C-alpha cells in the first residue's frame, strides 16, 4: 500500500524522507539534524576563536542562521532552519497520531517524538536568544561567557542531555534532542513496515 493510500504513513514520510520546500526536498527531521549540525559546528568555530570578539560574533550569526534564517538571512546553513523544521515535524507527527487509522506503534512513538521535539524547540529558542546577545556583546568577556552556554545548548539540541543523571539520555522532557527523535522515528517507521529491520 503506497503512502498516498495511507495518510498516517504520508505524515511519517514527510518527517522522515521527503517534504516539499526543504533543501533538496529531504525529510523534515534530516533537515533539522543537518541545520543543527551546522549550528554546533559554528559554535565550535567560535569557541576556537574565543580571543577575538568579531570572530565570536560572526560565528554566533552563523549559528543563528542555522536555527532561524529569518533572523539572520546570510550564512552557511541550509536556509530552512531548525525552528521551522521542528514546527513542521510537530504538526505532521500530531496529525499522524490523531488519525483514526493510526496504530498503537504510531501513537506510542509519536508521544516520544513530540516530547523530544518540545525540548528541541525550547533549546532552539534559547540558542536564538544567546546568539543575539553575543552579536550585541561589546566585551570579549561577555561574549565568551555567553558562548560557553551557546555551545552547550547546541550540543544538547543535537544529542540531548542527561538531565536526571541516570547515565542515559531519554526522550523525556528536558532530555532528548534531535538524535533521540531520529531513533524514535526509525522505530516508528520499522513498526509500520516503512523501512527494513
Q: CB-based burial of residue 64 (10 Å sphere; 0-12 exposed, 13-18 middle, 19+ buried)?
A: buried
DSSP secondary structure letters along 28-95:
HHHHHHHHHHHHHHHHHHHHHTTT-HHHHHHHHHHHHHHH-TTTS-SSSS-SS-HHHHHHHHHHHHHH
pTM for the model: 0.95
The whole-number pLDDT of residue 2 equals 43
DSSP class of residue 173 equals T
The whole-number pLDDT of residue 144 equals 94
CA dist 57 and 132 (Å) reads: 9
Joined together, the cell numbers standing for residue 77 give 546553513
Joined together, the cell numbers standing for residue 167 give 547515565
Confidence class of residue 43 from pLDDT cuts 50, 70 and 90? Answer: very high
C-alpha 30, offset from chain centre = 9
**Residue 1 pLDDT > 50:** no
**Residue 80 pLDDT > 70:** yes
**Residue 78 pLDDT > 70:** yes
The whole-number pLDDT of residue 73 equals 87
CA dist 62 and 150 (Å) reads: 12
The mean per-residue pLDDT over the stretch 159-164 comes to 96
Confidence class of residue 51 from pLDDT cuts 50, 70 and 90? Answer: confident
The whole-number pLDDT of residue 4 equals 52
Amino acid at each position: 500500500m503506497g503512502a498516498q493510500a495511507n495518510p498516517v504513513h504520508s505524515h511519517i514520510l514527510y518527517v522522515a524522507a521527503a517534504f516539499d520546500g526543504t533543501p533538496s526536498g529531504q525529510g523534515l527531521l534530516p533537515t533539522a539534524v543537518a541545520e543543527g549540525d551546522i549550528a554546533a559546528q559554528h559554535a565550535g568555530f567560535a569557541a576556537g576563536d574565543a580571543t577575538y570578539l568579531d570572530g565570536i560574533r560572526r560565528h554566533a550569526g552563523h549559528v543563528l542562521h542555522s536555527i532561524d534564517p529569518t533572523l539572520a538571512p546570510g550564512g552557511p546553513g541550509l536556509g530552512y532552519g531548525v525552528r521551522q523544521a521542528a514546527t513542521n515535524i510537530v504538526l505532521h507527527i500530531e496529525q499522524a497520531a490523531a488519525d483514526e487509522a493510526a496504530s498503537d506503534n504510531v501513537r506510542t512513538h509519536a508521544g516520544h517524538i513530540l516530547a523530544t521535539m518540545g525540548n528541541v524547540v525550547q533549546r532552539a529558542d534559547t540558542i536564538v536568544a544567546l546568539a543575539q546577545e553575543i552579536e550585541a556583546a561589546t566585551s570579549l568577556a561577555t561574549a565568551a561567557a555567553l558562548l560557553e552556554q551557546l555551545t552547550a545548548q547546541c550540543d544538547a539540541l543535537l544529542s540531548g542531555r542527561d538531565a536526571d543523571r541516570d547515565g542515559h539520555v531519554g526522550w523525556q522532557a528536558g532530555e532528548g534532542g534531535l538524535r533521540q527523535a531520529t531513533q524514535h522515528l526509525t522505530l516508528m517507521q520499522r513498526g509500520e513496515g516503512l523501512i527494513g529491520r
